[in-house]
C-alpha cells in the first residue's frame, strides 16, 4: 500500500534538495500554464531571471523589494515559533509607517539626519507594538484567538491610513497637493541613505541586523530558550516556571515591532512619505509566506525574501515581451512555489512507502517499526 512513513533520521541533503525541487516543480506547473496560454515558458523565465537577478540594477531593486519582506518574515517567524499566529503584520506595518512618518515630520529639520532616522526607526517599531498590544493582551489573559483579532485589525489599519491621506486634512497629508491627495514628504535629512545610484537603502542593513539579532535572541538568550519551551508545550512551560502570559505578550510585541520597522523602512527608504498606495501591496501577508518557506529559520528568511522579491519585481518586465505575458503570472508563480515548498515539507519528515517496497508499512513510527 502507498503511504508515508516517518523518517527516523533526516539526511542533510534533503533540506536543500526538497526546496530546490519544490521551486522547480512550481516552475514546471507555471510552464504548463504558460504553454496553454500561448507563451514560451523558457523565454518567460529567462526574462524574469534577467530582470530580477541578472542585472545589477534589477538585482538592486530585488533587494529593495526584499527589504520589507525580510522584516515581515521575521515578524511572522518570531510569533510562529511559539505557535502564536500573528496575521497582522500587514496592519502593524501600516501603523509603523504612520508613526515613523509622523515623527519625521514632527522633527523636521530640528535634529541632524541620523537622529531623525533613529527616531523614525524607534517610532516604527513602537507603532507596530502599539497596534498588536490589544490582541496580545487579549490573547494572554482572555485567550482570544489572535488570528482573528490581528487579521481584522489589518482592515482597520488600511482604512486608517487611507483616511489620513485621502479622507481628512491630517498632519500626514501634503497641504500643497490640492489636485490629488498625497502624503507630505518627510524632510530630506530623514531620507535613509541609498547605495550609490541604486535604490537599495539603509532599510536593508536594518533588516539584516534584525536577522542577526533575532537569531541571537532565539539561540543565545534565556528569552529565546523560554520561547522554545513555550513553543513545544505551553503546559511544560508553565510547569517549568515560564511566565506564560508575559511571554505571549512579549513575543507578540516583538513580532509587531519587526513589522513596524518594515513600515519605517518604507517611509524612510522608499516612499519618503506616508503613501497608502505603496504600503498596501501585501508585504505583511507575504511575510507569512516568507516565514513558512524559510522553515522558521532566521537565516533562510533572507534568501526566501530575495527570491520572492525577485519574483514580484519580474512582473512588469514580462510586459516588455512582445506577446505581453500578464503580470499576474508572477503572483501565480509565487503561489505555486509556496504550495510545493510547503507540500514537500512532508517529504522532509516522511518518506514515501511505495507499494512494492519491502519492510513495515506506513504510519508506524520508527520505534514501532523496529519493534515489529
Q: Give, as ranges, the residues between 192 and 231 that touch another protein (CB under 8 A).
A: 194-200, 204-205, 208, 211-212, 215, 218-219, 228, 231
Please tell me the distance from the alpha carbon of residue 228 to that of residue 321, in angstroms, as a whole number. Answer: 49
Selected from 21, 29, 280, 369, the binder of another protein by CB under 8 A is 280
The correct pick among 26, 153, 157, 291 for binding another protein (CB under 8 A) is 291
Interface with another protein by CB under 8 A: which range of 33-41, 115-123, 268-276, 363-371? 268-276
What are 352's strand-pairing partners? 4
Span 244-263, contacts to another protein by CB under 8 A:
none
Q: Residues 55-74: x/- map of binding to another protein (CB under 8 A)? A: -xx-xxx-xx----------
Q: Which one of 31-39, 40-48, 179-187, 250-258 is the stretch in contact with another protein (CB under 8 A)? A: 179-187
% helix / strand / coil in the chain, to the nearest 5?
70, 5, 25
Q: Which of positions 299-328 make contact with another protein (CB under 8 A)?
A: 299-300, 302-303, 306, 313, 316-317, 319-320, 327
Helical packing angle, 244-265 and 222-232, nearest 10° = 110
Q: What are phi and psi of 252, to 5 degrees?
A: -65, -35
Question: H helices of 37-88, where?
Answer: 41-49, 56-81
Contact region for another protein (CB under 8 A) — 23-31, 38-46, 165-173, 364-372? Answer: 165-173
Our finding on whether 240 is near another protein (CB under 8 A) is: no
Site stretch for another protein (CB under 8 A), options 42-50, 106-114, 252-260, 272-280:
272-280
Q: How far apart are CA 283 and CA 200, in angstroms?
A: 17
The secondary structure of 90-137 as a DSSP string is HHHHHHHHHHHHHHHHHHTTSS-HHHHHHHHHHHHHHHHHHHHHHHHH
Q: Which is nearer to another protein, 156 or 208 (CB)?
A: 208
Q: Are 64 and 230 in contact (CB under 8 A)?
A: no
| Residue 162 sits in the site that holds another protein (CB under 8 A) | yes
Kindly tell me which of 5 and 334 has the beta carbon lying closer to another protein: 334
Q: Measured from the CB atom, is 163 or 357 closer to another protein?
A: 163
Residues in 112-131 that interact with another protein by CB under 8 A? none
CA distances from 201 to 92, 191, 270, 303 (A): 21, 9, 8, 18
Amino acid at each position: 500500500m502507498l503511504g508515508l512513513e516517518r523518517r527516523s533520521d533526516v539526511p542533510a541533503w534533503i533540506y536543500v534538495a526538497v526546496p530546490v525541487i519544490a521551486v522547480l516543480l512550481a516552475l514546471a506547473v507555471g510552464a504548463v500554464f504558460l504553454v496553454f496560454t500561448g507563451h514560451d515558458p523558457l523565454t518567460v523565465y529567462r526574462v524574469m531571471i534577467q530582470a530580477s537577478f541578472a542585472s545589477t540594477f534589477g538585482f538592486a531593486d530585488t533587494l529593495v523589494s526584499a527589504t520589507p519582506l525580510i522584516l515581515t518574515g521575521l515578524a511572522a517567524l518570531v510569533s510562529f515559533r511559539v505557535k502564536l499566529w500573528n496575521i497582522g503584520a500587514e496592519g502593524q506595518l501600516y501603523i509603523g509607517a504612520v508613526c515613523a512618518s509622523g515623527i519625521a515630520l514632527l522633527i523636521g529639520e530640528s535634529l541632524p539626519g541620523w537622529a531623525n532616522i533613529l527616531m523614525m526607526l524607534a517610532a516604527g517599531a513602537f507603532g507596530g507594538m502599539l497596534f498588536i498590544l490589544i490582541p496580545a493582551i487579549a490573547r494572554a489573559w482572555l485567550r482570544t484567538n489572535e488570528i482573528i483579532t490581528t487579521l481584522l485589525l489589518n482592515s482597520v489599519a488600511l482604512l486608517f491610513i487611507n483616511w489620513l491621506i485621502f479622507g481628512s486634512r491630517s498632519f500626514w497629508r501634503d497641504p500643497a497637493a490640492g489636485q490629488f491627495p498625497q502624503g507630505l514628504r518627510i524632510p530630506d535629512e530623514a531620507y535613509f541613505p541609498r547605495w550609490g545610484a541604486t535604490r537599495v537603502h539603509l532599510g536593508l542593513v536594518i533588516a539584516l541586523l534584525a536577522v542577526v539579532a533575532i537569531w541571537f535572541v532565539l539561540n543565545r538568550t534565556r528569552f529565546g530558550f523560554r520561547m522554545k519551551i513555550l513553543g513545544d508545550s505551553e503546559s511544560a512551560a508553565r510547569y517549568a516556571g515560564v511566565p506564560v502570559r508575559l511571554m505571549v505578550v512579549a513575543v507578540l510585541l516583538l513580532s509587531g515591532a519587526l513589522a513596524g520597522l518594515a513600515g519605517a523602512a518604507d517611509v524612510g527608504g522608499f516612499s519618503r512619505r506616508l503613501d497608502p498606495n505603496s504600503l498596501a501591496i501585501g508585504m505583511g501577508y507575504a511575510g507569512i509566506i516568507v516565514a513558512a518557506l524559510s522553515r522558521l529559520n532566521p537565516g533562510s528568511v533572507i534568501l526566501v525574501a530575495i527570491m520572492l522579491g525577485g519574483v514580484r519585481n519580474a512582473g512588469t518586465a514580462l510586459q516588455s515581451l512582445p506577446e505581453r505575458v500578464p503580470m499576474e503570472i508572477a503572483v501565480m508563480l509565487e503561489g505555486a512555489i509556496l504550495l510545493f515548498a510547503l507540500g514537500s515539507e512532508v517529504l522532509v519528515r516522511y518518506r514515501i512507502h511505495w507499494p512494492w517496497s519491502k519492510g513495515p508499512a506506513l504510519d508506524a513510527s520508527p520505534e514501532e517499526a523496529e519493534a515489529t
